[in-house]
Every structure is written in structure tokens, then in C-alpha cells.
Structure 1
Amino acid sequence: MYKTIKEKLQSLIAGGFFHIFIGNTLVKMIAFVSSIVIVRLVNKNDYAYLTYADNLYNYAISFAGLGMSSAILKYCATAASKEEDKAYFNFAMKYGTIFEALLSLIVVGYVTFSAIPFPEAKPIVYVLVLYPVFNNILSTVLNYLRAHAENKVYAKAAVIQTSVVFAGSVIFVLIFGVQGIAVARYIAIGVAVLGVWKTLQKHLQGIETARLDRIKIKNFIVMSISLMMSNLFSLIMPINETTLVSELLRSETITANYKIAIMIPGQLSFVTQSIIIYYFTIVAKTEDKKQVWKISKKVGWMTAGILAVITIVGAILSPLIIRIVYGSRYEDATALSTVFWIVYALNAGIRMIPMNFLPAIGVAKFNAIMAAISCGVHLIITYGAIVSFGIWGAGIASGIVYILSGVVYWIYFRKKCLEDTA
């Protein structure tokens, strides 16, 4: 047993698993400290305006460059040649970035010509206009590195980006106010790209770009759109929740308290994401679907166990954490935060593993359909719950949808794995 455990640990270390996990942990810790600093540097109203502006751009970012930045994880990991590999990367970078630029312009047009709940947020929206574009460029580069198992470099870039955002946010908020956060984000993305440039060139430099035929382009776009729909509707669920809180309750205080309440529990997903980042390419390259199911079950149980411990501790310490971290002015968010520890644990512990592994085995259509249904049901339930129960309705609605959709995802994932081996 000792030998088996030792060999497994050595395999994980060699594959960069701990680089990813430790890197993601550092990223979340730095981002957490950064959020504390921002909350304390700006007043409650400005924080609400930043939350509103970020929420609008999160819609654009959720499209992930029409899903192309996600599709290269599958296509570049299994490309028939280096030339084809480069072709998929270039295609995703070009058209995905153009698509994000169009979405950014739509957001600017919306806040300019619509009666938004927080008009004071307009300057922040304007200065963040390039954020979805830059974010897509970085995401495409990092996903390409993940597709080639450059996990150590990926983790390094994530830590660099978050560290620069943190330091830059403090400096530029003091100089420009809340709008300085945009400047910090732009600089951080640039530094992160430069940090991985040498590794990126190792895979692309001197390689001719293959000409993709119509069938390959069509298949890539179909996979991209399917992944986009799946990721979009999944990511839009919490965004819709925030939007409904802002639109229905129209209170800067409640919006700010809600943001604080979900901020720490929302970090639970990083545990699952770290594990998925490592195992995605392993699952994608495993031809035996029965073996995929065995791997996925182990990953699922391991993830659920880790999250259960973290959630219990987090929920118990939630009042103390908020009082120490954010100050007494946010003490009224402690009870709500406890609820969201449970809600986000349900998402990260039940739903995320099968939802992310389905595309790894080439199944994306179901993901898109299921995500769309979940999003629609969540929107309806959240609207009714907030109208009936106020801010507490947001947590109730999300918890119900995460449980139901998570069970369906696992059932379907098991079915696909076992039917392919029959």
C-alpha cells in the first residue's frame, strides 16, 4: 500500500497536479486578500457599482470566445499533427477574440442607452471595455498550454496574473479610484502572457499552420458552440442571480452585502477546478470509457469529501471571518454567507465533475441542453424566490437547481461511459 501511494504521489508530482493545486490555492488566497483590500479602500456604494459593472462583463466573458478557448482543450490535445494543432489555436484566437470584442461593444451600448439601476456605474463599464478581449486572449493561451500538459507553466501564469492584479489594484485605486482596478487587470494579463511566451513559442514557433478543411472547421465550431452553451448557461446562473438581486431589490447595501456573503464560499469551486484541470486531459486521452468511469468516480468521491470538510469549517467560522476580514459594517451578511457555503458546496461537490468530464469524452450536446434547461429553471425559481423571500430566495433557488442538475449529470455521464463499453 505504501509503495502504491508513493508511486501515485510521484505520478501526480511529475504531472504537475500539485503545481496546479498549490498554484490555484495561491491564486485564490491572493484574490481573496485583494478583495479585502478593495472593499476597505472604496466605499460601499462604489463597491456596488463595481459589482454591477463586473456582472455585465461577466456575461460577455461567459461566452469564452464562442467557446473556442475551451474547445482547443479537446482538439489541440488530440490533434493529428503539430500543424493541425497550431491551426486550431490560431483559429480560436482570431475568431474568439473578435467575438468577445463585439460583446464588449454591446455591453457599452446597453449601459449608454438603457435605464440601468446604477447609472453611477457607467464610467467603470467604459474603462473595462477591453477586459473581455484581453481575458479571452489569456484564456486561449492558457488552455492551449493545458492541452499540452504544461501544468506547471499554467499554474505559474495564474499566480503571476493574480499577484499583479492585487498589487496594481492597491496602487491604481489609490490614484484613480475604483476605476483603477481596470488598469491593474490589463497590466496583469499582459504580464501573464509575457510570462508564458517562451513556452508558447516552443510549441508554435517554426511550425507551419495547416489548412483546416470544412469538415474539421465545422466539427470544431460545433464543439465550440456546444461547450459555449454549456459553460455559458452554467456561468450565467450566478450572474443572473446577482442581476436579479440588483434589479429586483435595487439597494446598494443589499447588493454589497450579497457580494460579500458569496465571496468566500464562492472560492469552493477552486478545489474542484484544480482537480478538473489536471484530470481533463487524462480523461480526454483515455479510450476505455469503463476506465474513465472508474477514474471519475474516484475523483468525485475525493472531491466531495474534501469539500464537505471545508464547508463545515467555513460555515461555522463564517461570522468570525466576515467580522475580521471585512469589518463590522458587513456583519449583517454573516447569516447569508453561511447559507451560501452550503449552496456552493452542492455545485462544486456534485455538479462540476460530470459536467466538465462529459466534453472530455466528446459529449457536448447534452451539456449544452442540460445547462440551458438548468439556467432557465434557475432564473424562474430565483425570480419567484427573491420576490417571495427577499435576498434569502437567491440561495434557496440555487441550492435546488444545483442538486437536481448534478444528479442528472452523473446519471447521464455514467450511461455514456458504460454504453460505450457494451
Structure 2
Amino acid sequence: MQLSIKNKIKSTLNTVSKIGFFHLFSANIILQIVGFGIQIFLTRILSVDDIGRIKVMQSFIGIATIIAGLGVNTAILKLCSEDIDDNQKKKLFINGIKFNFITSMIVLTICIICSFTKIYSSDNIINVALRYYSIIIPFNVLNDLGIVYLQSQKKIKDMSRVQIITKVISVLFIILFSILFSLSGFIFAYVLTGIISFIIFLFLFKDELKEFLKIPITKKYIKNIYNIGKYAFATNSIGQILAFVDVLFMNYLIKDNSAIGFFGTAQLIITGLMIIPTTFNQIIVPYVSGNCKSKNKVIKIYNGYYKKMISLMFAVIFISFFVIPIFIPIIFGSKYVNSISYFRILLVGLFFWSISATRGIILLGIGQVKYNFYVSLVTACFNIAFNYVLILKFGASGAAYGTVLGFFVGNIVSKKIFHKAINNKYI
């Protein structure tokens, strides 16, 4: 029996590779390498304070983008992965675009208004820069919809190509404009890349968008999107808060842009390592959705991925702990040796995040997104409490410890809620 299950898991993974897993994995590696290249370049021409400012601004933009999206991207991924006709998928996609355009413009307006106050930061450079940086919000939201729609249709290669093209364009613009205009040039290049990505998607989806004006926002489709999106929005919002709570607390509590810059560099490397679990998760959703009526099939898929994830992340973290710190001062500069201690602490948090994320993606695939919200909510509460207390006591190091403790608790909660969700789904 065990051999049979093992063979089926191997068969599933082989199928996944054939439909584009390695293509996507290679693309993600390229994206991460390019992303690292940009950050390395920026550390050579911008001050540590400016690197810290960028991290703070990206935190606010990330949260604003999630709020503007209202979970529509997750709903589109789930609904358009299901076995429905192409016309229904097109109507869902277009309804999502129209709805998100309205919500993103509202959020953009609020963000610009807030930039004229000191809500964001006591650093006026950040406040002024965010007036222009916020323009990226509607483009981020709509581009995300394009990515998840391609993913839902299993067009992994198309999705990868678009991401690589836009990233290469981004590199060229960021290098050019950062050299010419420093921090302001970086922001201009980032916004310009978002606009170009949006134009690429317009051409890519020209067939789907032919009837854009004829297809109205329909209560039926918005209701379907809302039923999934409401939990996804809450979950994603909390997820973004979890991702940026450390930086935001440092922004308000210690007000040291250089410390944020060092911590942000450590986070950047951790984000690069997340390519491994994230790539698996990008692939698995359509296949879980396609088998969501069978509890046994879902459990088999989960067990296969979960065991491989644990083994893989143990190896990745062990090697990274000893090898990557050697290269940090070489690649980023000697002053970034201060990032090493943060990096090693955050590696532990990466492990807990990775195995918890596998459960979350399975729950998304079977439509039990409300349970992901419960996990995120509990994790966020602990994470916020840990970060606040530990940052006050230990500064930036406290942010790293707080993040690890938060994800440790989140993993325990995730395990308990996951099994409850599976049992409730297949009563």
C-alpha cells in the first residue's frame, strides 16, 4: 500500500514537471538572481539610509496593494482553476478586473492623501516619495490578476516568460534611473515597469478582453468572487502585516533607517530562499482543485509534498546557515556584515513558514480559505506582540526573534486547524 502511494506521488510530481514545473522553477531562479542583482547594485550607489527608506516604502505599498486587491486574485485563481467552460472563466476574469480597478483607485487616492501627513513616517523624505510610489498600486493589482489567471489555466510557460521579460526591463530602468536620480530614479523606474507590465498583459489577453466593454459587472460573478475573496483578503492582509510588521515597528519605534537597511538585506536573502517552497505551491493549486472532491487524493498529494518540503528545507537551511554569510560582505559590501546575525535568526523562521505554507496552499485548493484566515489571524496576533516587545528591548535583533517566535506558534496552530478543515470538508 505504501509503495502504491509512493508511486502515485512520484507520478503526480512527474506530471507536474511535464506541464512546466522546471520551466517555472528556472524562471523563478532567474527572477531571484535579477532581483538580487538589483539590490546589490542599489547597495553600491545608495546609502544604507536610503535602502532602509525603500524597505519602509515597500512595506506600505505591499499592504496597500493587498487592501486594493480585496482577495480577488486568490478567488480568480481558485474559480478559474475549476472545471467550468471558458466563457464562464472569461466573465469571472473581466468582472475581477473591473472590480479591482475601482478598488485600487480608491486605495491610491487614500494613500496619496496620507502622504501629505506624517502617518507614514517622521522622515519627510519617505512621505514625499510615497506620493509618487503609490501610483504603482493599481498596476500591481491588475498585473497580479493577469499572473493568477495564467496560472489557473496552467499556462505556466507564458506566466514565466512575462515575469522574466518585465524583470529584465525593470533591471535596465532601475540601473539607468538610479544612477541618474538616486532614490527618486528608483521609484520612477519601479512605477514605469509596472505600467509596461500592464501593457504587456493587455496584448497577452487581447482575446479575453475583446468583450471587455460588453460584459458588465454581474452580481452572480461578484458574489462568487466575494465568497472566496473575503477570506483570502483577510488572510492576505494579515500575511502582509506579518511580512512587514517588523520593519513597520522599527520605523516607528527605533527610527533608524540604517538598522532597517541591514535587516532588510537579511530579509531579502530569506525571500530569495523562499523560491523553493513558493515554486512548489504555485504548481500545486490547480491540481488540488481538480481533485478536491476526493479526500484520499488530497491527503496523498499533501503527504507527498509535505514530507519532501521538510527534507528539502532542512538541507537548504543547514547549508545556507554556513555558506551564505561568507558571501554577504563580499557581495553587498563590508558594512553589510551587520546583516549576518539577522539572517541566521530568520532562517529558523523560514523553516516554520515553509511547512505551514504547504498546508495553506492545500486548503486554498479545496476551497477552505477561511481556515487560512484563522491561522493567519492567530499568527499575526502573536507576531505583533512578540515584535513589539522584543524590538523595544533588543532593537532590530528583537524583530528577527519576534518573527521566528511568531511563525513557530503559527506552525503549531496551522497543523491543528489543517486537520480540522480537512475533516469538516469531507464529513
Report the TM-score, using the length of structure 2 for normalisation. 0.91
1:97 aligns with 2:101: yes
Aligned partner of 1:11 in structure 2 is 15
Aligned pair partner of 1:86 in 85, 90, 93: 90
Cα distance, 1:4–1:83 mapped onto 2, change above 3 Å: closer
Question: How does 1:120-159 map onto structure 2 within 5 Å?
Answer: 120-159=125-164
1:49 aligns with 2:70: no
In the TM superposition, residue 233 of structure 1 has moved relative to its aligned partner by: 0.3
In the TM superposition, residue 191 of structure 1 has moved relative to its aligned partner by: 4.0
Q: In 1, distance between residues paired with 2:360 and 2:214? A: 32
In the TM superposition, residue 258 of structure 1 has moved relative to its aligned partner by: 1.1
In the TM superposition, residue 47 of structure 1 has moved relative to its aligned partner by: 1.8
Aligned pair partner of 2:29 in 22, 25, 28: 25
Aligned pair partner of 1:313 in 302, 319, 324: 319
Aligned partner of 2:111 in structure 1 is 107
Aligned partner of 1:341 in structure 2 is 347
The answer (yes or no) to whether the contact 2:98–2:217 under 8 Å persists in 1 is: no
State the Cα deviation string for residues 241-281 of structure 1 (Å, max 9, x = none): 11001211111221111111221022222211111111101
Cα RMSD of the aligned pairs, angstroms, is 2.5
Aligned partner of 2:376 in structure 1 is 371
Q: In 2, distance between residues paired with 1:110 and 1:191? A: 27
In the TM superposition, residue 408 of structure 1 has moved relative to its aligned partner by: 2.3
The answer (yes or no) to whether the contact 2:76–2:149 under 8 Å persists in 1 is: yes
Aligned partner of 1:332 in structure 2 is 338
Q: What residue identity is the alignment partner of 1:188?
A: T
In the TM superposition, residue 383 of structure 1 has moved relative to its aligned partner by: 0.3
Cα distance, 1:223–1:328 mapped onto 2, change above 3 Å: same
In the TM superposition, residue 19 of structure 1 has moved relative to its aligned partner by: 1.2
Percentage of matched positions with identical amino acids: 18
Gaps of 5+ in 1: none
Cα distance, 1:79–1:72 mapped onto 2, change above 3 Å: farther
Aligned pair partner of 2:302 in 289, 296, 305: 296
In the TM superposition, residue 148 of structure 1 has moved relative to its aligned partner by: 0.7
1:221 aligns with 2:226: yes
In the TM superposition, residue 420 of structure 1 has moved relative to its aligned partner by: 4.3
Report the TM-score, using the length of structure 1 for normalisation. 0.92
Aligned partner of 2:255 in structure 1 is 250
Q: In 1, distance between residues paired with 2:197 and 2:190? A: 11
Aligned partner of 1:284 in structure 2 is 289
State the Cα deviation string for residues 28-78 of structure 1 (Å, max 9, x = none): 111011111111111122222222222211111233611112210111122
State the Cα deviation string for residues 221-245 of structure 1 (Å, max 9, x = none): 1211110111110121121111001
Q: What residue identity is the alignment partner of 1:351?
A: S
Secondary structure, in 3 states, of the residue corresponding to 1:16? helix
Cα distance, 1:299–1:208 mapped onto 2, change above 3 Å: farther
1:404 aligns with 2:409: yes
Q: What residue identity is the alignment partner of 1:82?
A: D
Q: What residue identity is the alignment partner of 2:411?
A: G
State the Cα deviation string for residues 81-135 of structure 1 (Å, max 9, x = none): 3222122111111121321222222222223112622112233212212111111
Q: In 2, distance between residues paired with 1:180 and 1:227? A: 34
Q: In 2, distance between residues paired with 1:138 and 1:4? A: 35
Q: In 1, distance between residues paired with 2:180 and 2:413? A: 50
1:262 aligns with 2:270: no
State the Cα deviation string for residues 118-164 of structure 1 (Å, max 9, x = none): 11223321221211111111100111111111111111111112221
Q: What residue identity is the alignment partner of 2:31?
A: V
State which drifts further: 72-81 or 189-198.
189-198
Cα distance, 1:64–1:406 mapped onto 2, change above 3 Å: farther
In the TM superposition, residue 345 of structure 1 has moved relative to its aligned partner by: 2.5
State the Cα deviation string for residues 189-237 of structure 1 (Å, max 9, x = none): 3444454555533555579976776454323212111101111101211
The answer (yes or no) to whether the contact 1:83–1:208 under 8 Å persists in 2 is: no
Q: In 2, distance between residues paired with 1:6 and 1:413? A: 24
Q: In 2, distance between residues paired with 1:358 and 1:228? A: 15
Count how many residue pairs are aligned between Structure 1 and Structure 2: 421
The answer (yes or no) to whether the contact 1:318–1:338 under 8 Å persists in 2 is: no
Q: In 1, distance between residues paired with 2:380 and 2:30? A: 31
Q: What residue identity is the alignment partner of 1:320?
A: I
